[in-house]
Amino acid sequence: MTARVHLRRSLAAMLLVVCVPALAQPASPPATMPASSHPAPSAPGVFALRKQGNTTRLVVTGTNFTGREAVEHYLAWRAAEHVTASKARWFSFVERRIAGDKVLTPKPDAEGQRYSFRLEYFRPTWRYKLAGSPDWKTWRPLSGAPFFALGLDAKTIINYEVSADIIPRNGMLADYDPLAFEAVAVSHYLINQVTTPR
């Protein structure tokens, strides 16, 4: 009887030696998918802001060209929304001119008519790629060249990037300046006209 008790105690001690360390091990973490080392590519219709000093560059990209006016109006609306969100009242459109530009610089006329904005002076720069072409082309409205020339068809655009530089401002609107845009007025005018580029 004493031998059996001794045997049982020996077996119990052996089981404790084997099992307790195993039970003490932490559970394995659940398997997870590894994080991608590459950022996702930009989706069509992406809108971006880049600030440099007091100037903000607005950029919109797309792969489905719906028309120059539609894209430019969307960019103007986003500019107005950005300015309002920044607690500014209006913005100046910054013209980036280079030698050879044929479009005249608009002159402020303090004695002329007053405007909340003039969309014809919101003239962003285009970069685009055509179907079958590996190269990006640039079009600047200030150059005086037509948007599409030499028989090229704008409907063959497969990628585009449109950019504009603005300076948000406070205080009284310079309503005699063609490059001045009142943010709220622009937003209210375009809100029901614009669609997100694709």
Domains in the chain: boundaries: 47-190
Tens-place pLDDT, residues 117-141: 999 999 999 999 999 888 999 999 9
Buried b (16+ CB within 10 A) or exposed e, 5-16: eeeeeeeeeeee
Position 150 scores a pLDDT of 57
Buried b (16+ CB within 10 A) or exposed e, 75-88: bbbbbbbbbbeeeb
Position 7 scores a pLDDT of 36
The two three-digit tokens of residue 59, written as one number: 């950029």
Give dist(CA 79, CA 113) in Å, integer: 24
Q: What is the pTM of this model?
A: 0.75
Position 148 scores a pLDDT of 79
The two three-digit tokens of residue 156, written as one number: 């063959």
Q: Locate tokens 């950029």: which residue?
A: 59
Give dist(CA 104, CA 63) in Å, integer: 32
Contact 93, 122 (CB under 8 A): yes
Higher pLDDT, 59 or 32: 59
Q: Residues for the chain: how many in total?
A: 198
Of 41-45, 60-64, 104-108, the one with minimum mean pLDDT is 41-45
Region 139-151 average pLDDT: 85
Rg (CA), the chain: 32
Contact 121, 179 (CB under 8 A): yes
Any alpha helices (H) in 62-162, and if so which ranges? 68-85
Position 172 scores a pLDDT of 96
Higher pLDDT, 145 or 148: 145
At 25, is the pLDDT very low, low, confident or very high (cuts 50, 70, 90)? very low
